[in-house]
Chains A and B, each alone.
Chain A
Amino acid sequence: MEELLKKTEPVKLESAAELRKTMDGYFTRLREAAETRNRKVAWCTSVGPAELLYSMGFEVYFPENHGAMLGAAKNADKYIPSAVAHGYSPDICSYLTSDIGAFLQNETPLQKSGFKSVPAPDILVYNTNQCREVADWFGFYAKHFNVPILGIHTPLSIPELSPEIIKSVSEQYKNLIPGIEQVAGVKFDMDRFREAVGLSHDGCALWRQVLEKAKQIPSPINFFDSAIHMGPIVVMRGTTYAVDYYKILLAELDKRIKENISAVPGEKYRIYWDGMPLWYKLSSMAKLFAKLETCVVASTYCNSWVFDDLDPSDPFESSALAYCKLFIVRSDEVKETVLENLLGEFSADGIIFHESKTCARNSNNRYGLQNRLFKKTGISYLEINGDLNDPRCFSEEQSIIAIETFVEQLAGKSGK
């Protein structure tokens, strides 16, 4: 027990400085586009058709990324009430409510980077593969800015990826083009699209390699790093910037493995995290797990962000396949198999399900999956209640006790 309470801190990644530069570059390009209007700005959902937009010359802004920034800045609870007063329920996506609330209060963390406000969109494009909320969320801004809004409607809870589904989504991709061309003022260029899809593929392949370094025991990277370092693959998918950054990160992880540097000093237990991060508690959670000599080695949140089915030789069909294959849009049977495989591949001792109050689609313990998975694998699980952005839904002390107890439970089981 005394050993468990030894004070250990997670080891910071040196690539963090390069990450900051990469993200700063992205925001500078966005800010310049917004200020000078020399380039068009498209808003896109995080798993939307970013490659298509980048290939047509847009700077692409992602409100979900902004939502996470508001959460990480611990400001969401300041903004959510404004959205609620405007008729948005506090029970729906707190990315949406904190983002719209911040907009209504004319505040954004981007003001620290010289933005006057979030960059005004020329067009908004979404894909409902994440959730239906993104359409409502973008709808608010389409109305406010009086700009076109286009969307791809992906079927939900997909069991098998049938040719019909892929064809339908692929057609929807193609159907976006005339509307986007009108706003872009340029014609769609197949070669440029192939190039963006190819870069997106390469970025994803590198991101997968980054994540898979955590299969190493001890792991050189943990979930709390990955949740931050996934920024480029979310907002710069389809550009060279993401590819360049992940080469740097990958090299650092290889070096760590060679030098036997682990993300959590003295790693004893390995945990899989399902569900959203607690953005407002990311660093205190990282410290808590490090203190418990426990590395969160993999997560649904990061590990499902790999779209390496993208193929420049067949950009539409492969985009449809990659973005329908996404974990969140699959049936519970498929999710169960994915989780079972990941638990094994990453040698996880346990799995924590974070049930997010306002994100049903990212909470996978609501239909008995946790019990079924336990029966199949014998890997212990813990459920904690919280929320991605709204700290009012999270009882910290209770959750700390639960996590500490869970690690002790794993200790008792493994005898480590």
Chain B
Amino acid sequence: MMKYRLGIDLGSSYTKGVLVDEQNKIAGLHCVKSGYSFNNASSKIIEHFSASHEIQYPVYTCGYGREQISAPFVSNSELIALSKAVYEVYGRSCSIIDIGGQDTKFIKVNANGQVDKFKMNRKCAAGTGSFLEEIAFRLDITPEEFTAFAEQAKQEVKINSFCTVFAISEIIGMIKNGSTLPDIIIGIYNSIILRSMEMALVEDHLVITGGLPAKHPMIVSLFKKKYPDSDSPEHSQFLAAYGCVLLNRES
């Protein structure tokens, strides 16, 4: 019976599992909310795949909860794992912008697949998934409705505030002054893009990954307007988990 290896990215918002076959190909994906217990979240991932596949231990982890798992594991650096997976997909030097639940990361991968440079968002989590979720909650629209609204935008309004709470006050002020929700939502998306663009200079092919662009494809299109040489690979939210397995393939 074929044995499968499992990569788990225990992120601040979601825990992502990737099942990898003996040819290092993705054989399954599963994602659950991280909630209050990384161990519960990873158990759900393991149970999900164990029902139909034989898993080979240890599992390979990364992310905030990378060491909070009761199954045998080998933990990895999320950024190195993500770079590995992106290099596996593209096979050349590139820049990665990854937007997750509370982190935005910039990674410069060289022609040999090594990390040349990286940067993480620092003082606050504006411009990340949590930022969007909070705004969605306060405006009482689902994150899924964001895209539908954004598609109706006629012009962009500019969101200035660095602080999530104040950004919401700013948005409420805009609504009061007659701005439409679709125009505001495009403004929110663009503020996220601007925030990630200030992390570093993108001088080559840009790969956009993470939960936020995966759930909000409009962000990828907006990035493309600024960087024509950019795209977002399939299952980009799962790539760090996949990379964990790839990093350990020799062992």
Chain A residues close to B by CB (< 8 Å): 1-2, 5, 357, 380, 383-385, 393, 395, 397-398, 401-402, 404-406, 408-409, 412-413
Tell me which residues across on chain A come within 8 A of B120, comparing CB atoms.
398, 401-402
Report yes or no: A409 in contact with B122, Cβ–Cβ below 8 A.
no
Which residues of B (63-89) have their CB < 8 Å from a CB of A? 64, 74-80
Number of cross-chain contacts by CB at 8 Å: 50
State how many residues of chain B have any CB contact under 8 Å with chain A. Answer: 20
B78 touches which of A383, A393, A401, A413 (Cβ 8 Å): A401
- Say yes or no for B235: interface residue by CB 8 A criterion: no
Report yes or no: A1 in contact with B248, Cβ–Cβ below 8 A.
yes
Report yes or no: A405 in contact with B77, Cβ–Cβ below 8 A.
yes
Known: A408-B115, A409-B117, A412-B80. 7 other contacts (CB 8 A): A357-B123, A380-B117, A401-B79, A404-B77, A408-B77, A408-B80, A413-B114
Tell me which residues across on chain B come within 8 A of A357, comparing CB atoms.
123
Chain B residues close to A by CB (< 8 Å): 64, 74-80, 103, 114-120, 122-123, 247-248
Tell me which residues across on chain B come within 8 A of A398, comparing CB atoms.
103, 120, 122
**Least Cβ distance of A379 to chain B in Å?**
12
A397 touches which of B64, B74, B123 (Cβ 8 Å): B64
Task: Tell me the bound Cα distance from A402 to B77 in angstroms.
Answer: 9
Report yes or no: B76 in contact with A1, Cβ–Cβ below 8 A.
yes
**Least Cβ distance of A271 to chain B in Å?**
16
Which residue of chain A is the closest to B122 with respect to CB atoms? A385
Q: List 15 A-B contacts (CB under 8 A).
A: A1-B247, A1-B248, A380-B117, A383-B119, A385-B122, A393-B123, A395-B123, A397-B64, A398-B103, A401-B77, A401-B78, A401-B79, A402-B118, A405-B115, A409-B115
Tell me which residues across on chain B come within 8 A of A2, comparing CB atoms.
74
Report yes or no: B123 in contact with A385, Cβ–Cβ below 8 A.
yes
Task: Tell me the bound Cα distance from A412 to B75 in angstroms.
Answer: 17
**Least Cβ distance of B33 to chain A in Å?**
19
Tell me which residues across on chain B come within 8 A of A408, comparing CB atoms.
77, 80, 115
Tell me which residues across on chain B come within 8 A of A402, comparing CB atoms.
118, 120
Tell me which residues across on chain A come within 8 A of B103, comparing CB atoms.
398
Task: Tell me the bound Cα distance from A398 to B122 in angstroms.
Answer: 8
Task: Tell me the bound Cα distance from A409 to B117 in angstroms.
Answer: 8
Task: Tell me the bound Cα distance from A395 to B102 in angstroms.
Answer: 12
Task: Tell me the bound Cα distance from A383 to B123 in angstroms.
Answer: 12
**Least Cβ distance of A10 to chain B in Å?**
21
Tell me which residues across on chain A come within 8 A of B119, comparing CB atoms.
383
**Least Cβ distance of A349 to chain B in Å?**
14
A405 touches which of B75, B80, B248 (Cβ 8 Å): B80
Given contacts A1-B248, A385-B123, A398-B122, contact A405 B79 (CB under 8 A): yes
Task: Tell me the bound Cα distance from A287 to B8 in angstroms.
Answer: 26
Given contacts A380-B117, A409-B80, A413-B114, contact A1 B122 (CB under 8 A): no
**Least Cβ distance of A353 to chain B in Å?**
12
**Least Cβ distance of A382 to chain B in Å?**
8
Which residue of chain A is the closest to B124 with respect to CB atoms? A395
Report yes or no: A1 in contact with B115, Cβ–Cβ below 8 A.
no
